[in-house]
Amino acid sequence: MSRLSELNAYEVAQAERAAGMSYDSLFDDDAPKVGLMGALAWQFERRTQPALEYDDYLRTVKTGEIRRFLLEDDAEPEPEPEPEPVTEAATFPAGDQVVVDGAGTVLAPATGDDVVVAPTVDAADGAGGAEGERLPGAEGPAV
């Protein structure tokens, strides 16, 4: 992901004029890139410093900073979604991760042929049971 798509057409045109290069030259392996990349990064700086001149900007910034700013994604990675809590008894083959905590989070692999995982909160009345508690009529070892 890059920030290039955040620039509007006017900003890209300004960068092209300042660098004397077409935006398409970014995708030409043989074309020089520093001037145009600098001009594109300069457009972002001008959002907060409108009087900043292109040459002045290039004198103060390093090429690695320009490349990282324009091309690298510095956004925080999205967190892993929370696992769905177990709200009903379920039978899983041995080896699947079926031992759960009070919130229904999987904690450890199962053992035995089939393991019945009891919900910690009854879906019907919201009453909680102890971890590892067997449901009436459940088969297999309690976890």
- For 47-65, the pLDDT digits (tens) are 999 999 999 999 999 988 9
pTM: 0.50
128, amino acid identity: G
Q: What is the pLDDT of residue 94?
A: 54
Q: Are 57 and 47 in contact (CB under 8 A)?
A: no
Kindly report, residue by residue over 102-139, the tens digit of the pLDDT: 666 655 555 555 455 555 444 455 555 555 555 455 55
Q: What is the pLDDT of residue 73?
A: 58
Half-sphere exposure of 5 (CA within 13 A, CB side): 4
Q: Tell whether the model's pLDDT for residue 97 goes beyond 50.
A: no
Q: What is the pLDDT of residue 109?
A: 53
Percentages helix, strand, coil for the chain (3-state, rounded to 5) are 35, 15, 50
Separation between Cα atoms, residue 38 and residue 36, nearest integer Å: 5
Counting residues of the chain whose pLDDT is more than 90, the rounded percentage is: 34
More confident residue, 1 or 76: 76
Query: Mean pLDDT over all residues of the chain?
Result: 73
